[in-house]
Structure formats: C-alpha cells, structure tokens
Amino acid sequence: MFRNPLKMRKIGYVLAGFAVLGILFSLLSIGGIWILRPGLTKSASNLVGMTHETLVTTQTAVGFLSGSVSQVNEDLALIQSSLDSLESSMASMADSLATSANLIGDDLSLTLSEVQTAVSSASTSAEFIDNTLAFIASIPLIGADYQPDTPLHISLGKIADDLGDIPESLTSLESSLNSASTDLQSFSDDLAVLSDDLDIILEDLSGSQDILADYDGILSEAIQKVEGVETHLNLYSLLTSMFLTGMLLWLGISQFGVYLQALDYIHFDDKIVSLSNLDRE
C-alpha cells in the first residue's frame, strides 16, 4: 500500500510537537517538584501541626467534660442516697403514725370507755358511801366529822362527765394522724419516683462516660498517628517527590521515543527516494 509522503510528514510534525511538549512538561514538572518541595513540605508541616494542636485541644476538652460528668454523677448519686434515706424515714414515720392512729382509735378509745364506765360505777358506789358517812356523822353519840366540800360521788361523777368529752378528741386526733400518715406515705412515694428518675439519669451519665472514654481513645490514637506523620514528614515528602520525578522521567523518556518515530515520519519521503536509488543500482 502506497503512503502519501506529505501526509506522513504532517503526522510526523504533529507527533514531534507533542513529543517535545511532553518532554518539556516532564522536565518543567520535575524542576517544579523540587523547587516547590520545601514550600509544600512547610505548608504540610503547618497543616499537620495545626491538626495536632486541634486534636490535643479536643482531647483536653473531652477530658474536662468527662471530669464534669463524673462530678455530676457523684453529686447525683449522693442526692439519690439522701433521697433513699429520706424516703425510708418518711415510710417509717407513716407506718408509725398509722400504728398510733390505730392505737388511739381502737385501744385508747376502748380503754377510755372502760375507765369511764369504771368511774361511773365508782361514783354510784361513792354516793352510797357518802350517804352512809353523812348518816353516821349525824349521830351525836358517834361524833364523826364528815363534812367534805365536794362529796366523793360528785367528784367522780364530774370526772366521768369530763371523760365523756375525750373520745371525740381521740377521734379527731385519729383522723389527723391518719391524714398525716397518708400525706407522708404520698411524699415517700414521690421520693421513690424521684429516686427512680435519678437512676435513669445516672445510667445515661454512665453511658456518656463510656462514650467520652471511647472518644478519648480515638483522639489518642489519632494524635499518635499525626505525631508519626510530623516525625516522618520530610521523608514522606522526599519519597513522594522521588516517585513523581520517576513517573515524569519515564513519561519524558517515552515521549523521546515518540519524537524518534516522528522523525521517521518526517523523513519518510527521503527513505522512499533512497530505496528507489538502491533499486536502480
């Protein structure tokens, strides 16, 4: 197949131009890498240093927050312990008041009723005795002196009457004690509910402390990695520059091969003429 020499030369010039541009690009890029390397390394070092400071500051804040949460946890635990003690005391007082109310309403009322009955009976008996003594005192030969200001049966009767007002007072006192017992029991129940709420809060705080501990571990690991990068940053920069230089050098060498091929295309017509001369000879 016959190839057009003019077309081949055009292709050769185009390939040669691209090859020259590729070689220049490789050389300029290699030079730019090593010229810009110190500045880029410094910028990277500043960025890594800033990242390190940010991580350290964040870890300090996490530590401070963890300490605050721990202190809050201790304070709430103390409050909960106090509430539990108060709730136990209130429950005991409520039980004591309920027992006292039952004692006043049942035992004391029954005892008072029995005492009132006994005093009334004694008053009746004392009236007979008073009458007997008064009769004896009225006999001249005996000469008994029995003239009390208030006869015994009247005094006992008054006591019996006074005792009749006490059951109503005991009933009122029983009602007050029952009401106080109910209020204290209600207050004790409210304290128990509050203590349960504090339990939930303490569990949440415990979970928050675990999360903060995980954050601290993550930040410690990140700080170690950043410190490692800071220590070997110059080496990483050198290795990266060498790698990019090798890639660009390989690109330039490959473009040099393209340039040689382009020269073959440019001198394609001369080769045809030379081959023709050889055939003639």
CA of residue 263 relative to chain centroid, distance: 76
pLDDT at 93 over 60: yes
E strand or H helix at 16:
helix 5-102
What are the distances in angstroms from CA 62 to CA 53, 128, 209, 258?
A: 14, 95, 10, 60
pLDDT at 211 over 70: yes
Angle formed by the axes of helices 109-137 and 166-231, nearest 10°: 150
Q: What is the 8-class DSSP label of residue 150?
A: S
What pLDDT score does 135 carry?
A: 56
The pLDDT tens digits for 131-187 are 665 555 555 555 555 555 566 666 666 776 666 666 666 677 777 777 877 877 787
Max mean pLDDT range (24-38, 102-116, 179-193)? 24-38
What pLDDT score does 281 carry?
A: 47
- Cβ atoms of residues 88 and 185 within 8 Å: no
Q: Is the pTM of this model over 0.75?
A: no
The full DSSP string for 170-218 is: HHHHHHHHHHHHHHHHHHHHHHHHHHHHHHHHHHHHHHHHHHHHHHHHH
What pLDDT score does 2 carry?
A: 45
Summarize the confidence of residues 113-142 as an average pLDDT. Answer: 62
CB atoms under 10 Å from CB of 47, counted, come to: 11
pLDDT at 101 over 80: no
Q: What is the mean pLDDT of the chain?
A: 75
The structure tokens listed for 155 are 């005094």
Angle formed by the axes of helices 268-280 and 5-102, nearest 10°: 140
What pLDDT score does 275 carry?
A: 45
Where exactly are the structural domains of the chain?
A: 5-280
